[in-house]
Amino acid sequence: MTFIAIVDGAITTVALPSIARQFRLTTAALDGVVVVYPVCLAMAIPASAWLVERFGAKRVLLTALTAFLGSSLLCGAAADLSQLVAARAVQGLSAGVLFPASAALLYSTFSSAEQVRIARYMIVPQQMAPAAAPVLGGLLVDHLSWRWVFYVNLPVGLPAVLFGALCLAGHRGHRPPRFDLPGLLLSAAALGTTMFGVCEGPNRGWSSTAVVTALVSGAVLLVAAAAHQLRTRTPLLKLRLFANRLFRDTNLINLVGLVPILGAMFLGPLFLQEAQGRTALESGTSTFPEAFGVLLTVQVAGILYARVGPRVIVGCGLTGVTLVLLLFATCDEHTGLWTFRAYMFLLGIAMGGVFMPTTVASLATVDRRDLAQASTLNTVVRQTGGALAPAMVTTALVLNTPASAAAHPPVSAYQHAYLVLAALAAVTAVFAFTMPDGPARAAAGGTTTVSRRSVPLRSRGARTR
């Protein structure tokens, strides 16, 4: 489930030139196909916690996944641009519910000690998906059609729906507090508008009317939404959870720390193809080693988590990210592919010490009744960090590119961009070493027993009604 949703967010870009040719449009005219997905995803996230509490995580998860697959089919069958954008909007709305619902189901079922072990396996689809997306997209477009970029979700997703329906334990949701409609409208408008401004800033220019209007409006709406959520007795987003220092610190690390990490993943293919003139296939196979580095480190981090705590692991991971980004800043047009691949592998090793520990630690001291809310807030933070990464990279490239060479940034522009990302990673690393992790270590070392109702697989004796 996680794999196909992440792949779909990244794979579409590969198909844009082919879509443009079939619809007889320019690639720039397809901007809405890319932007509408994160915008609608951000707008749907605020409602996900209430839906999980009302209808149960299993029902919401399978409904969202079914809607995602249905909209994928509509994307592939789109006859024109308007139909494609509309179907992508439904995809984004479905993914906005899918991510928090799956996280809520996972973390409400298992104790912290079990979550550490499970995260060592969950990281596989989370890391393989963005690494595989460019390669998979190129193969599908070259050998079949751009429509298969969307159709490919079906053979993967339909078995997942069937497995979930048969094997996941389902229990009815309880009656949650009154639905906060003003909170939904304010939060959805704020997140959607801000996401639009951040995504479009590098393309239209940060001083363009549309971007400035979106960012200013988004900021005003965010303040209004936060004020409403803090004032109401039954908020849609429980912002008071940020009063928990461990939850607040880990989310701040995710927000800021994801920018240099995902920024490097975004910058790598651009450097290889634009600065070195490599092919898309060479680019894809050169960024892929990152995934193997992550998978290796996560296994080690899972073993050490309860012994040394997330603070040391995350701090060392971000320090490693800083050092590898400084290595990337030395790359030029003569840097060999295998050297670049080695750097990507090292980046993955460092990244593996960030993702799993911050996620598990963020929920370690959260009341189990608030896990759906906490998972929703985690998703908001991660999606925001993911949107900021390409925006910062593109802006850094533009600022270091002479006006006469705007279409092709020089190698020095890429080197400066890597240095900016390294500086941000270094600041985040220093902050990570101040994170309180005593409760997280204690929770991970415990042997909390999970109630039979919450066990996800029927083979473990779960009740289904």
pTM (whole model) above 0.75: no
| Closest CA relative to residue 124, chosen from 41, 37, 6, 264 | 6
Express the helix, strand and coil content of the chain in percent, nearest 5 each.
80, 0, 20
Q: Which two tokens stand for residue 263?
A: 């920024």
Q: How confident is the model at residue 104 (pLDDT cuts 50, 70, 90)?
A: low
DSSP labels for 139-179?
A: HHHHHT-TTHHHHTHHHHHHHHHHHHHHHB---PPP--SPP
Question: How many DSSP H helices and E strands does the chain contain?
Answer: 18, 0
Query: Please, is 431 exposed, middle or buried when counting C-beta atoms within 10 Å of its C-beta (0-12, 13-18, 19+)?
Result: middle
Per-residue pLDDT tens for 309-366? Answer: 888 899 999 999 999 999 999 998 888 889 999 999 999 899 888 877 888 788 777 7
The answer as to CATH 3.90.1150.10 being correct for domain 2-179+236-460 is no
pLDDT tens digits, 372-430: 778 778 877 887 787 778 778 888 887 777 766 555 778 888 899 999 999 999 999 99
Q: Which residues of 227-246 are buried (b: 16+ CB within 10 A; e: fewer)?
A: ebbeeeeebbbbbebeebeb
8 Å CB contact between 358 and 254 = yes
Q: Please write down the long-range contacts of 185-188, taking CB distance under 8 Å and 24 or more positions apart.
A: 186/221, 186/224, 186/225, 186/228, 187/46, 187/225, 187/229, 187/236, 187/237, 188/42, 188/43, 188/44, 188/46, 188/47
Domain coordinates in residue numbering, the chain = 2-179+236-460
